[in-house]
Structure 1
Amino acid sequence: MARIELSFPDDVFCFETRMQVRTTDINGANHLGNDALVSMLSEARAQFLISYGISEGDNSGKGIIVTDLATMYQSESFFPEMLRFEVGLMDFNKYGGDFVFRVTKAENSQPVARAKYGFVFFDYQQKKVVPMPENFRSRFA
């Protein structure tokens, strides 16, 4: 089975938020489930965008769409731990780039996971990928 190694420079992270592991986030092995972590990553991404005044979609039908997700689990997390989600952007191309995440336990900074979401800008009305808006690129380049 292939293994991935995700490593990001410290200076790429420009936002952080905290979320508590809920009882509903716990799986049959009694720790944070991978499905719950993916939902928490999506919430962290949404909070990041909101903090910069960016909507995932706009009135013209254009927005951001996730193209892929890679996650590297580093340790278990349990209810009711508080997790720190650091979020950043990197590897821009003509159409998008990567949201990157570093997840640690808030109390002791123990690594829990690293992840990256590939994304592109998408015209939902025309159903096609569109170039990244310059105002987005210039804000984070």
Structure 2
Amino acid sequence: MFSVDYKVTVSDINYGGHMGNERALLLFQQARIDLFKSLGVSEINVGDNIGTIQKDAHVYYRAEIYLGDKLKITIKGVEIKKTSINFIYIVKNESDKVVLEGSTTIVGFDYERKRVTKFSEKFLNTLEDIFIK
């Protein structure tokens, strides 16, 4: 597992007074960015000049999130497939209540050639070491 803390800001809040639904994907992305940074890579280059691009996303809203809430975003697992990685998330508030769950599927992307490509074995092995072994 990998976790990051996040405090809800005014830009996260919609006209209903709670976090807007589009912000969930930004929380998931922030967790991925922080994970990659801890590994010495980035979304634009996870190794061998291969970046990432999001292919699919699912969000399950469990409770409202309000301005000032302190959240813990956790990547609780990954599913590594031949050409994609599915990241599984859970977001809890400071009362340890689950407020969001979801997943994003990313694929390797060669930004220079503008095409989908495979991830490096080194990157996949690093993720396996963290989440699977």
Q: TM-score, normalised by structure 2?
A: 0.87
- Tell me the amino acid that sits aligned with residue 81 of structure 1: D
* Equivalent pair of 2:24/2:59 in contact (CA under 8 Å): no
* Equivalent runs, 1:91-130 vs 2, <5 Å: 91-105=79-93, 107-130=94-117
Shift of 1:40: 2.1
**Distance of 2:52 and 2:15 partners within structure 1:** 33
Which structure 1 segments of 5+ residues have no match? 1-13
- Tell me the amino acid that sits aligned with residue 93 of structure 1: K
* Equivalent pair of 1:89/1:140 in contact (CA under 8 Å): no
**Distance of 2:7 and 2:109 partners within structure 1:** 32
* Equivalent pair of 1:69/1:118 in contact (CA under 8 Å): yes
Q: Bigger shift: 21-30 or 84-93?
A: 84-93
Q: Secondary structure at the match of 1:34?
A: coil
**Distance of 1:61 and 1:90 partners within structure 2:** 22
**Distance of 2:119 and 2:81 partners within structure 1:** 8
Q: Secondary structure at the match of 1:67?
A: strand
Which structure 2 segments of 5+ residues have no match? 129-133
Shift of 1:88: 4.1
Q: Secondary structure at the match of 1:71?
A: strand
- 1:24 correspondence with 2:11: yes
**Distance of 2:28 and 2:98 partners within structure 1:** 15
Q: TM-score, normalised by structure 1?
A: 0.82
Q: Bigger shift: 83-92 or 72-81?
A: 83-92
Gap change, CA 1:19 and 1:41, over 3 Å in 2:
same
Aligned residues: 127
* Equivalent runs, 1:58-73 vs 2, <5 Å: 58=45, 61-73=49-61
Shift of 1:62: 2.2
* Per-residue CA distance 1:71-94 (angstroms, 9 max, x = gap): 000000111110000014422112
* Per-residue CA distance 1:43-92 (angstroms, 9 max, x = gap): 12111111121221239652111101100000001111100000144221
* Equivalent pair of 2:12/2:19 in contact (CA under 8 Å): yes
Residue in structure 2 matched with residue 15 of structure 1 by the alignment: 2
**Distance of 1:137 and 1:38 partners within structure 2:** 23
* Equivalent runs, 1:39-50 vs 2, <5 Å: 39-50=26-37
- 1:51 correspondence with 2:49: no
